[in-house]
Amino acid sequence: MRYQNATAYRFLAPYLLIFSIFWLWPIIDSFLISFQATRTVPWRFSPTFNWGRLIGDPAFFNALKNTLLILVIQVPVMITLAIVMAVLLNSPLLKARGLFRFAFFAPVVVGEVAYSAVFRLMFNLDYGIINKLLNSVGLPSIDWFSNVTPAMAVIMIAVTWRWAGYNAIILLAGLQSIPQDVYEAATLDRVSKLKQFIYITLPLLKPIIVFCAVLSIIGTMQLFTEPFLITERGGPGGGTETLGLLLYRQGFRSLNFGYASAIAYTMAGLAIAISLVQLWLTRDPK
């Protein structure tokens, strides 16, 4: 038995080796680096150098605030939208279901740069289609990228556009796993369609909704592409800078690896903490 295990591990060794070097070690190493002062040569051990700075850094708190703001508005809106989309997709009245499914999923496979460019164009002050639409109903143009609030809105809209369909497809799978006869039983029980949705569909879909929410929370915590490309590196004036962007700025522009590592660990920690709270809040009462 023990001998067999040893053989198995020898076969696994190449994988484990590569896994350790390229996956495990960077994670451990970046944790260690976050305790190093990396602005001096050579680096020296100093637990407070990065972590101490983090606690008092206005740029960090700005990025944290922006990230959380996007999180608390965008994730619920997107999940709600995704549920609505999934229910519509699941409706027997819908024609050309395959086409819609493809259309909902398509944003995920569009290249990030291309989609960001399109969003920049759409929200352009002078010739963007959004302002044209606003003008056509008598509203004034909005300078989307020069003010913080509209810029944040653009980011939330973009992220929602990109991921709502993806979540809708996951939720659709959940919807389709609810047996039809449960609804028939409810129909015989004189329960209206709306009440069926509230008292049957939503509770049965809850694990999947939570799953989607956790995925979205993790994704939004790492938000980078949209503020980097659409609002041009967190503009205006850092107004849309997220933690992901701050990390990039510290690590790749200032080459301050220690501080970047500390930020990365903070992001991961927050994502885990928020997801756990989410799971705890929505746990099955037992």
Return residues touching another protein (CB under 8 A).
179, 181-182, 184-191, 195, 199-200, 203-204
Query: Which residue, 201 or 240, has its beta carbon nearer to another protein?
Result: 201
CA 24 – CA 17 distance, rounded (Å): 10
Closest CA to 262 of 278, 277, 250: 250
Task: Give the shortest CB-178-to-another protein separation in angstroms.
Answer: 9
Minimal distance in Å, beta carbon 67 to another protein? 34
Nearer to another protein, 154 or 209 (CB): 209
Task: Choose between 253 and 283: whose C-beta lies nearer to another protein.
Answer: 283
* Alpha helix positions (H), 20-45: 25-33
- In degrees, to the nearest 5, what angle opens at C-alpha 202 toward C-alphas 198 and 205? 165
Closer to another protein at the Cβ: 88 or 191?
A: 191
Is 266:61 a contact under the CB 8 Å cutoff? no
Shortest spacing between CB 286 and another protein, in angstroms: 10
d(CA 230, CA 224): 10
Angstrom distance (rounded) from CA 253 to CA 43? 18
CB of 200 to another protein, least distance (A): 6
